[in-house]
A and B are shown apart, each in its own frame.
Chain A
Amino acid sequence: MSLLQITDLHASVGDTPILNGISLTVNAGEMHAIMGPNGSGKSTLAQVIAGHPAYEVTNGTVTFDGQDLLDMEVEERAWAGVFLAFQYPVEIPGVTNAYFLRTAYNEIRKARGLDEVDPMDFIDLLEEKLRVVEWGPEVMERAVNFGFSGGEKKRNEILQMAVLEPRLAVLDETDSGLDIDALRIVADGVNALKRPDSATVLVTHYHRLLDYIIPDVVHVLVGGRIVKSGDRSLALKLEKQGYEWLTGAAVGAGA
């Protein structure tokens, strides 16, 4: 059975339709890349999976591990194992990274009927996870994303992903704005966290990230629809030729 099954998904913000019938199947162990020009609906798809209240699903279904994802609250999706790495991670002044991560970790454990982990044991667990993003423990005493550089914010998203060990990670433009070192750290983190029972969906505008992370499937989103799917060679073709040949096709298809 597929881990994520999206069928004919339509979604709007207010009266503006953004997703116009997306169907997508992601199996455990797979890495999918969703590419497309600006405004094609990539980030909307990521937010609809996470459950952002601003997007209204007008048609279609999203099933995660056999459950109706659209029927679940945002936190319930996290408890079930869905994780969204934000394009613009939110700053929370006054809450340390350590407290935030421990609370998230324990909320998810509680929801799964597991015992909470005390602060000392959590520190041990963190040490290992910090290595994934090549960070020292001092970052844990900083307020969540507050005063972080753009690259630090993205690394912090990967750290959260490492700690929470989601079954489905959706990375929304995690590569945008990163310098080459930060990009390498983020990509190494994503590769290190790959598991046979989990899947990753990379939403990206640029092929650059795909030099570091090898996707199993590449989809191209244009006008709120997947207009093309293929293997890694599709990304390479996009790198050479851009999106024009596909946007033209979409316009043609719609005409």
Chain B
Amino acid sequence: MTMTSTAPVTPSVARDLTIPFSALAGRAQLAEGPDWLLELRRAAFERFAAVGVPTTRDEEWRFTPVGALATRKFTAIHESDPVRPADIAPYMFGQPGWPLVVVVDGRVDVSLSSLLLLPSGVRVGSLADAIGEGVPDVEAHLGRHAAPDVTPFAALNAALCVDGAFIRVPAGVVMPTPVHVLHVVTGRARDGVIAPRTLVIVEREARASVIESFVTLADVSYFTNACSEAVVGAGAWLEHVRVQREGGKAWHIGLSRIDQDRDSHYRSFTLSLGGKLARHDLHTKLNAPNIETLLYGLYLAQGEQLVDNHTAIFHDHPNCNSWEVYKGVLADRSRAVFNGKVLVRPEAQKTDAKQTNRNLLLSDDAKVDTKPQLEIFADDVRCTHGATVGRLDEQQRYYLSTRGIGGRTAQALLIWAFVAEVLAEVSVTPVREALEAIVHAQLDALIA
């Protein structure tokens, strides 16, 4: 099999920045797998080696310095600390019977997972197993949506990924409950790179709800390079909840890439709480007319955290709607970055796109860089955007205190009022309630 040494010579800066990952990529390429997969890994690393770890001179990474990733010595993760059901119990959603895929340090742990009671024809489980069984859908879709040329880290993920979750809901099937993909990181991940990939296929007129969550069981430093790709078929419905609450020393860089077919509906809710540096790119591509895509996001940051959300909505066809609301609450010296790109092609007439980013600063030292990026080439469209950065309203605080609600209680109530709007958009009630509890707990920590 091809080794990394055969990767083409690239400009020295980019090449240097990829060195820490070379050995890992070489190891991944030696792993067993069908030819198409090995070719995907090889081509992906070639791509990554060509572009390298981005610097702040790159417009897409202007406020988010990740150069430190290139100077660290990442080690391979061969095994994990044992994880017991009790360890992951605090991170569950909904009822015990819900399908659950537990991914420990990047590999699915079947014994912790719960994959009973799936409707006929539905597949939920390990991506590596699906590859091993030669499931045709996997070869057709893996790395085709979150392709190596989408972002440098999509390429790196494809080069390094060994496992993740695979979910396929056949045409017309309505999933009765959400599927939870729980990514768990153990102490053995110290100084390691975890590169899980999730592939979700919701076929024509099927309906599914997928929760991806990322948690850390040990307070160690590591790098999660996650990548998810989803295909939403004609007339299909997908709700995608992504909860990132990794440890305070974690680096998290994730990409979610959604391809939507005609008459489909996609709604996402992205909650970002953890990590030292957390970046998520969410791309939705509207590949046919009459599609709806709803993107909601919430980020809470404190200490020295940096949280970065980049979204991109590709309006390629007429009569599609996109609606986006991201909100953030920033304490201490934390920083947030928001970039919302909306690309409307000339043929995408009657596009209706609305984007909102609102930020609440709880400290003088917190900072937000927010940027809408609307590129509109059609003339009969309605596209609006708005971004705000503000503080708690003094009149509201006074009003509350005249009713006996003072100090932190008033602060918590007003922050809650600010964030509740986006949380309300999570459509599955037990999931929404669980997220509300998580956010409540985090807000308590934020204003403590």
Where the two chains meet, the residues of A that have a C-beta atom closer than 8 Å to any C-beta of B are 50-53, 73-79, 83-84, 86, 89-90, 92-95, 99-100, 103-104, 107-108, 111, 143, 160, 164
Contact A90 B401 (CB under 8 A): no
B406 at the interface (CB under 8 A from A): yes
Asked whether, in the complex, the Cβ of B418 is within 8 Å of the Cβ of A75, the reply is no
- When A and B form their complex, which 5 residue pairs have the shortest distance between CB atoms, in order from nearest? A75-B406, A94-B417, A78-B404, A74-B401, A90-B399
> Does B413 sit within 8 A of A, measured CB to CB?
yes
> Do B404 and A164 touch across chains, with their CB atoms under 8 A apart?
yes
Given contacts A75-B406, A78-B404, A94-B421, 11 further A-B contacts (CB under 8 A): A50-B402, A52-B398, A74-B401, A78-B401, A83-B402, A86-B399, A89-B399, A92-B417, A94-B416, A95-B414, A107-B405
Q: A89-B399, A92-B396 are in contact. Are A75 and B416 (CB under 8 A)?
A: no
Whether B420 sits at the interface, judged by CB under 8 Å, is yes
**Bound state CA distance, A77 and B407, in angstroms?**
14
- Report B209-263 residues with CB < 8 Å from chain A CB: none
Q: Determine if A108 and B417 form an interchain contact, defined as CB atoms under 8 angstroms apart.
A: no
Closest to B399 in A: A90
Chain B residues bordering chain A, tally (CB within 8 A): 21
Query: Given A75-B407, A90-B396, do A95 and B416 touch, yes or no (CB 8 Å)?
Result: yes
Judge if B409 is at the interface, Cβ distance under 8 Å.
yes
Residue of B with least CB distance to A108: B404
Is residue B120 within 8 Å, beta carbon to beta carbon, of the partner chain? Answer: no
With the chains together, A83 CA to B404 CA distance in Å?
A: 9
Flag whether B403 is at the interface (Cβ < 8 A). yes
Give, as a whole number of angstroms, the nearest-CB distance from B23 to chain A. Answer: 50
Cβ-Cβ contact count across A and B, 8 Å cutoff: 73
When C-beta atoms are compared, the residue in chain B nearest to A107 turns out to be B404
> In the complex, A160→B404 CA distance in Å?
11
Residues from chain A with Cβ under 8 Å of B421 in the complex:
93-94
Cα(A52)–Cα(B399), bound, Å: 9
- Give chain B nearest CB distance to A171 CB in angstroms: 13
Which B residues, 391 to 448, have Cβ-Cβ distances below 8 Å to chain A?
395-396, 398-407, 409-410, 413-414, 416-418, 420-421
What CA separation (Å) do A94 and B421 show in the bound complex?
Answer: 6
- Neighbour of A79 across the interface among B398, B399, B404, CB < 8 A: B404
The smallest beta-carbon distance between A204 and chain B, in angstroms, is 19
Would A78 and B399 count as touching, CB distance under 8 A? no
The answer to whether B417 and A74 have CB atoms under 8 Å apart is no
- Tell me, rounded to whole Å, the shortest Cβ–Cβ distance linking A63 to chain B: 19
A-B contact pairs, 19 of them (CB 8 A): A51-B402, A74-B401, A75-B402, A75-B407, A75-B410, A79-B404, A86-B399, A89-B399, A92-B396, A92-B414, A93-B421, A94-B416, A94-B421, A95-B413, A100-B413, A103-B405, A104-B400, A107-B403, A111-B404
Cα–Cα, bound, A164→B410 (Å): 17
Chain B nearest CB: distance from A53 CB in Å?
7
Bound-state CA distance A95–B413 (Å) is 8
Chain A residue contacts of B398, Cβ below 8 A = 52-53, 74, 90
A160 touches B403 (CB 8 A): yes
| Given A94-B421, A107-B409, CB of A84 within 8 Å of CB of B416 | no
Kindly report which residue of chain A lies nearest to residue B403, judged by CB atoms: A104
Q: Given known contacts A94-B417, A94-B420, is B396 in contact with A75 (CB within 8 Å)?
A: no
Within the complex, which residue of A77, A84, A90, A104 is in contact with B405, where a contact is CB–CB below 8 Å? A104
Chain B residues contacting A104 (CB-CB under 8 Å) are 400, 403-405
B406 & A73 in contact (Cβ 8 Å cutoff): yes
* Distance between A19 CB and nearest chain B CB, rounded to angstroms: 19
B312 to chain A, nearest CB (A): 28
Closest A residue, CB atoms, query B415: A94
Query: With A94-B416, A94-B418 known to touch, is A75 a contact of B405 (CB < 8 Å)?
Result: yes
Residues of A contacting B418 with CB < 8 Å?
94
Given known contacts A92-B417, A103-B413, A74 and B406 CB-to-CB distance under 8 angstroms: yes
Q: Tell whether, in the assembled complex, residue A78 and residue B417 are in contact, meaning their CB atoms are under 8 Å apart.
A: no
- The complex places the Cα of A73 from the Cα of B398 at a distance, in Å, of 11
- What residues of B have a CB within 8 angstroms of the CB of A99 in the complex? 413
Closest to A112 in B: B404
Using Cβ atoms and an 8 Å threshold, which residues of chain B touch A75? 401-402, 404-407, 410
Query: How near does chain B come to A223, taking the closest CB pair, in angstroms?
Result: 26
- Knowing A90-B396, A92-B396, the reply to whether A78 touches B402 (Cβ < 8 A) is yes
B314 to chain A, nearest CB (A): 32
Chain B residues positioned under 8 Å from A107 (CB to CB) = 403-406, 409
Residues of B within 8 A of A77 (CB): 402
Enumerate chain B residues within 8 angstroms of A160, measured Cβ to Cβ.
403
B403 and A164 contact, CB distance less than 8 A: yes
Expressed in whole angstroms, the minimum distance between the Cβ of B271 and any Cβ of chain A is 17
List of A residues within 8 angstroms of B417 by Cβ: 92-95, 143
Nearest residue in B to A83 (C-beta to C-beta)? B402
Inside 8 A of B416's CB, which chain A residues have their CB?
94-95
**Chain B residues with Cβ under 8 A from A89's Cβ?**
399
**Given the complex of chains A and B, what is the CA–CA distance between A83 and B403 in angstroms?**
7
Asked if residues B402 and A84 are in contact (CB atoms below 8 Å), the reply is yes
Q: Which residues of the partner chain A approach B414 to less than 8 Å between Cβ atoms?
A: 92, 95
* Contact code string B361-405 (vs A, CB < 8 Å = 1, else 0): 000000000000000000000000000000000011011111111
Given A73-B401, A74-B401: A103 touches B395 (CB 8 Å cut-off): no
B residues near A143, Cβ cutoff 8 Å: 417
State how many angstroms separate the Cβ of B396 from the closest Cβ of chain A: 6
Q: Which residues of A contact B403 (CB under 8 A)?
A: 78, 100, 104, 107, 160, 164
With most chain A CB atoms within 10 A of its CB, the pick from B396, B398, B418, B420 is B398
In this complex, what residue of B is CB-closest to A80?
B404
**Complex alpha-carbon distance, A8 and B414, angstroms:** 37
Instruction: Give the CA-CA distance A172 to B407 in the complex, in Å.
Output: 24
Residues from chain A with Cβ under 8 Å of B396 in the complex: 90, 92
Q: Chain B residues near A53: list those with CB within 8 A.
A: 398
B423 — nearest CB in chain A belongs to which residue? A94
Chain A nearest CB from B318 CB (Å) reads 34
Tell me which residues across on chain B come within 8 A of A84, comparing CB atoms: 402
Our pick among A74, A93, A94, A103 for the contact of B409 (Cβ within 8 Å) is: A103
